[in-house]
Structure 1
Amino acid sequence: MDPRYRRSRVALRHAVYRLAEQRPITEVTVTELCREAGVTRDTFYRHAGAPLDLLADVLREDLEAIAGDHPDLSGGFGAGAGMRAGVRALCEHVAGHAGVYRNAARPHLLGPLRDVLETVVRRSLEAHADAHPEILPPEARAPEDVRVLAAYAAAGTVGALEVWLELDPLSVQRGERLIVAGSPAFWHGPPA
Structure 2
Amino acid sequence: MTDARILRTRAALHGAITDLATQKPVGEITVSELAETAGINRVTFYKHYTTPAEALADALQTELKETCDAAAPNGSVDPFTHCIYTALDHLEARRELYTIAFNDQVDGTVPMMLSRFLTNIAETYLTKRRKRKPAVPDIDLDVAAAFLANGATGAIRVWILEGDMSRERFFENLPQLLPAWFLASDNG
> 1:24 deviation in Å?
1.3
1:36 equivalent in alignment to 2:37: yes
SS of residue matched to 2:50: coil
Counterpart residue identity of residue 22, structure 1: Q
Q: Is the Cα–Cα contact under 8 Å of residues 80 and 188 in structure 1 kept in the other structure? A: no
Q: Is the Cα–Cα contact under 8 Å of residues 129 and 136 in structure 2 kept in the other structure? A: no
Q: Which residue of 2 aligns with 1:14?
A: 15
Change (3 A) 1:130 1:166: same
Q: Is the Cα–Cα contact under 8 Å of residues 17 and 56 in structure 2 kept in the other structure? A: yes
Q: Deviations over 1:126-173 (max 9, x none)?
A: 111222213544443xxxx12111111111001111111111346333
The whole-number CA distance in structure 2 between the counterparts of 1:32 and 1:107 is: 20
1:150 equivalent in alignment to 2:145: yes
Aligned residues: 182
Counterpart residue identity of residue 106, structure 1: N
The whole-number CA distance in structure 1 between the counterparts of 2:106 and 2:154 is: 9
* Stretch moving more, 170-179 or 123-132: 170-179
SS of residue matched to 1:22: coil
> 1:98 deviation in Å?
1.1
SS of residue matched to 2:102: coil
Change (3 A) 1:116 1:108: same
Q: Which residue of 2 aligns with 1:176?
A: 171
Segments of 5+ residues of structure 2 without an aligned counterpart are none
Change (3 A) 1:52 1:135: farther
Q: Which residue of 1 aligns with 2:162?
A: 167
Q: Which residue of 2 aligns with 1:58?
A: 59
Counterpart residue identity of residue 157, structure 1: A
The whole-number CA distance in structure 2 between the counterparts of 1:7 and 1:35 is: 15
The whole-number CA distance in structure 2 between the counterparts of 1:47 and 1:60 is: 15
> 1:108 deviation in Å?
6.0
Q: Which residue of 2 aligns with 1:47?
A: 48
Q: Which residue of 1 aligns with 2:88?
A: 91
> 1:105 deviation in Å?
1.7
Q: Which residue of 2 aligns with 1:23?
A: 24
TM-score (norm 1): 0.82
